[in-house]
Amino acid sequence: MDRKVELPSGGYAVLRDPLTVTNKERKPIVAQMDAAQRNPDQIVTNFDLTEQLVVLMVKEWTHPFPLPSQSRDSLDEIPTLDYDRLCISVQEKESRIFLDVTEKPDPKDQNGSRPNSGNSGMDSSTTTSAHASISLPRSVSIA
């Protein structure tokens, strides 16, 4: 569901429902995150990634500037506290856009060991279930 975010300047922005984000829209952000992990010399900040999410997620706002998806430069024209509120708001929604790829223990396996599944020929102790969140660290806070 879309979400209305009240901005400190008195206006508002409407953020898209994260479930409407397509893989095509998400890929550039994931590619940048992946490139940063593979090449530590590449400088990609949380700020850059968060701003990309703002561009992706803001679908309506009361500012007299084009939407960020039409002109990213619009984000430089809005009050800083509005910008910070948008960053925080999209970070709250990002867990619904990115999957958690960290491995977690199988909840069915309470004692840390796995029963052998029989004649599969596979070592069942190496099987894990993976749930899916790539999480962008929080980089902005509003007092």
Mean pLDDT by 10 residues, the chain (143 residues): 96 93 89 77 72 94 97 97 95 69 57 47 37 40 40
Say what the pTM is: 0.65
31-to-28, 35, 38, 76, 82 alpha-carbon distances in Å: 5, 6, 11, 24, 27
In this prediction, residue 110 carries a pLDDT of 57
Angle of CA points 135, 140, 143, to nearest 5°: 130
**Is the alpha carbon torsion for 87, 90, 91, 94 positive or negative?**
negative
